[in-house]
Chain A
Amino acid sequence: MPTSRRTFAVAAIAALVLPLSACGSGGDGGSSTDASGKVEGDITFQTWNLRANFKDYFEGLIADFEKKYPDTHVKWVDQPGEGYADKISADAAGGTLPDVVNVSPDLVAPLAKAGLALDLDKAAGQYEKEYLDGAWASHRIPGMDGTYAFPWYLNTGPLFYNKSLFEKAGLDPEQPPKTYDEVFDAALKIADKTDGDVATLANVPTIEDFGRYGVPLMNKEGTAFAFNDAKGVQLLARYKELYDAKALDPQALTATPESSGKKFLTGAVAMNPGSALDLANFKKQAPNLYENIGITDQITSTGHVNMYVMGLMVNAQSQRKPAAVAFAHYVTDAAHQMSFAKQVAIFPSTAGSLDDPYFTKEDGTDETRVRIAAAKSLKTAVNYTPVLFSEQMKTELRNEVAKALQGKQSPKEALDNAVKACDRLLQQQG
């Protein structure tokens, strides 16, 4: 039947052409940054793996907000930690991004570039003074004007170490290493004393390690990576020394934070980064380790520890911008950040909050000791992860580092290749 064939042909051509029609069409780009007006309407608020432990806190928070603004309704959506970036990218690509989204700075960067994150300098600049300067600046994107998320909670973590393993290696368990060079020396001693049975570190160096070692990560303009300088090469060369001596766990090349945490629990690794939450875990799962647990600051050779920043981004295409901005500010204001900090081991990003007695007064418990030490270090902490450093770039760096550790290429070649690959990805990001 000619008619049916023609219809089929038209449908087939339409199927081919429709996807093409998406090509070349830019994003909205014209979304307004005006968030003034009445705070009203339904908004969606998305968090990152918080419902399981903080359901009551957030339901109370939302109820209080709705009481304050009776014409609003907040729908809370919580996404699992695994694949969070993929979930956001699917929503962003599909035009279903929630009005207020829990993000980290590296997630904000591509969203801001795509015109999906509201510029808060323009839409909510009046709130800037309420936050720590560094925290507010953490959601600025190199090459763009503006700030693209409210700073929410900050986090840093102590480094745990196994005192008994230190003792067995003839090291003073009360004087843990503080800088990278001290860690490397201690690690070689432990590996030597245990014939390579106990490693001190279980992960290959990440971009944060390069930052904490004092390596410049990007050029001043933020247009190219720069971690292949002499200091970067020196760091990688020392890691190679550890790998050869089995002071770096042989499975470090394929390790994840979970797998290295497990190795620390079993006593196969002497040091591991963590948070105050881990103490309860040690107590329950590894009582012997808990009795011998040592707690020290993050290793840094710059004097500044690494800080992780969480933020709340407002969707630039939200139909309810006044309500979305008001809610994001409400969740991140000093009072609510403080109350959230008392629920869990995180730290507020609001000005003056870290001077609260909760973060300064000892009560004799390990938890408090960890909290006070972390809060103190946060005052000078740095978010070492460049906001433009994508997941693909992390993989490139990790792969090149692995080749250097295996001796397939020199540390210099590895870092040159990693920088080249990351620069190429940076250019492709536009």
Chain B
Amino acid sequence: MASPTLTTGTPDARKGGGARRVRRQLPASPWLFAAPGLLITGAFILYPFVSTLVNSLTDRRTLVPGEFVGLANFRELLHDDMFWIGLRNSSLYVLGVVPALVLLPLLLALLVQKNIPGITFFRSAFYTPVVASIVVVGLIWVWLLDERGLVNSLLETLGASPVGFLSDQWLILLSAMGVTVWKGLGYYMIIYLAALANVPRELHEAAAVDGAGAVRRFLTVTVPAVRSTMVLVAALSSVAAFKVFSEVYLMAGPSGGPAGEDTTLVMLVQRTGTGLTGRVGYASAISVVVFAVTVVLMLLVLRADRKEEA
């Protein structure tokens, strides 16, 4: 057994001769402090992750343990039309949602940044969708966008034909993207508000003195100052967008829109791997692909940021 180490006080304390106690510290002490966190991480993050990796190499089903099949599930994925539809939709979601969630909350944050009477109300109002349940949000938007819903009634009043927001494959996906952006605006707005508070006022004043207008000041002062926050928002929103489930599930229905054409990868995991006859092994293989793609997405965003900095 290793001998206990002696911690010593500062030189001043040593001079004090007993003003501070010398403590014994066991080598296991840090582990004891870390143990609860490690146990929780191991049980709820590491174990499920490893379990998913292992399951992806088996033909496990809900009630049947299954056998090791190597990469057979991944080979089957390559020939599964629904997998490619899911990959396409999840990727489109990233492309559609991320730019909006990087830019719009920044503009919103600029609007509500100013300290004018009543601005707290608007900040809270913009944040409300963030705390609302996604199911409630989804249902409200389904009512609004229904063929006989409020939006179509307004369009009809204006003489236009009703739009199939919830029956057309692409419009369903676009509508779901709109809901995701709407619900996420407030969350990212708060992050931007914190970043904007750290932008030196003098820079804006100097730019204004030099004759820069509002747009120019935004592009040359604000954007560079919050660039690292924009990267963070891009990274967070791209991972969240690739893993989208609720919005599309609620708007497209459990079958994933007409002929399943709006299915996303996570919806496919849910549909394939759950229930009494669920193919857990195959669903795990799809989950592994989702994990790999999100890691690649994060790396791409971070690399782009590093290049910019260089």
Contact = CB atoms under 8 A, between A and B. Distances in A.
B52 to A, nearest CB: 9
B54 to A, nearest CB: 4
B275 A86 contact: yes
B63 A92 contact: yes
A428 B63 contact: no
Interface in A47-97: 85-86, 88-89, 92-93
B96 interface: no
Interface residues of B, number: 41
Given A19-B54, A403-B259, A406-B258, 5 more contacts: A19-B55, A250-B147, A253-B259, A391-B275, A392-B271
B257 interface: yes
B63 A16 contact: no
A116 B62 CA distance: 13
Contact of B50 (A19, A23, A93, A403): A19
Contacts of B9: none
A429 B66 CA distance: 11
A134 interface: no
Contact of A250 (B68, B164, B274): B164
The 4 residue pairs across chains A and B that have the minimum distance between CB atoms: A114-B63, A402-B259, A253-B258, A110-B276
B20 interface: no
A70 to B, nearest CB: 36
Nearest to A107: B276
15 contacts: A15-B47, A23-B54, A24-B68, A27-B65, A85-B275, A89-B62, A250-B167, A253-B167, A253-B257, A254-B166, A254-B258, A266-B148, A395-B254, A399-B260, A400-B259
Given A19-B51, A23-B60, A392-B277, A251 B67 contact: no
Contacts of A22: 60, 65
Interface string B271-310: 1101111110000000000000000000000000000000
Nearest to B69: A23
B89 interface: no
A111 B279 CA distance: 15
B46 interface: yes
Given A107-B276, A250-B164, A251-B167, A20 B68 contact: yes
Contacts of A89: 62-63, 274-276, 278
Given A15-B42, A254-B166, A254-B167, A27 B64 contact: yes
Contacts, number: 122
Please report whether the interface of chain A is mostly helix, strand, loop or mixed according to DSSP. Answer: helix
Contacts of A113: 63
B120 interface: no
Nearest to B42: A15
B253 A256 contact: yes
A27 B63 contact: yes
Nearest to B147: A251
A89 B277 CA distance: 8
A139 interface: no
B106 interface: no
A180 to B, nearest CB: 23
A430 interface: yes
Nearest to A388: B277
A138 B167 CA distance: 37
Nearest to A409: B259
B172 interface: yes
Interface of A: 15-16, 19-20, 22-27, 85-86, 88-89, 92-93, 107, 110-111, 113-114, 116, 250-251, 253-256, 259, 263, 266, 268, 390-392, 395, 398-400, 402-403, 406, 408, 425, 428-430
A301 B277 CA distance: 32
B68 A23 contact: yes
Interface of B: 42, 46-47, 50-51, 54-55, 58-68, 146-148, 164, 166-167, 172, 252-255, 257-260, 271-272, 274-279
A116 B51 CA distance: 24
B26 to A, nearest CB: 13
Nearest to B282: A428
Given A93-B63, A254-B172, A255-B253, A428 B276 contact: no
A110 B61 CA distance: 11
A21 B58 CA distance: 12
Contact of A402 (B61, B258, B276, B278): B258
A57 B50 CA distance: 47
Contacts of B68: 20, 23-24
Instruction: Count chain A CB atoms within 10 A of each CB in B51, B166, B254, B259 and give the residue with the most.
Output: B259
Nearest to A401: B259
A268 B148 contact: yes
Nearest to A106: B276
Contacts of B277: 110, 390-392, 425, 429
A252 to B, nearest CB: 9
Contacts of A402: 255, 258-260
B40 to A, nearest CB: 14
Nearest to B276: A110
A110 B62 contact: yes
Contacts of B50: 15-16, 19
A80 B156 CA distance: 39
Contacts of B65: 22-27
B258 A395 contact: no
Contacts of B66: 23-24
Nearest to A20: B54
Contacts of A23: 54, 58, 60, 65-68
A406 B166 CA distance: 15
A89 B280 CA distance: 12
Instruction: Count chain B CB atoms within 10 A of each CB in A254, A255, A392, A406 and give the residue with the most.
Output: A254
Contacts of A430: 64
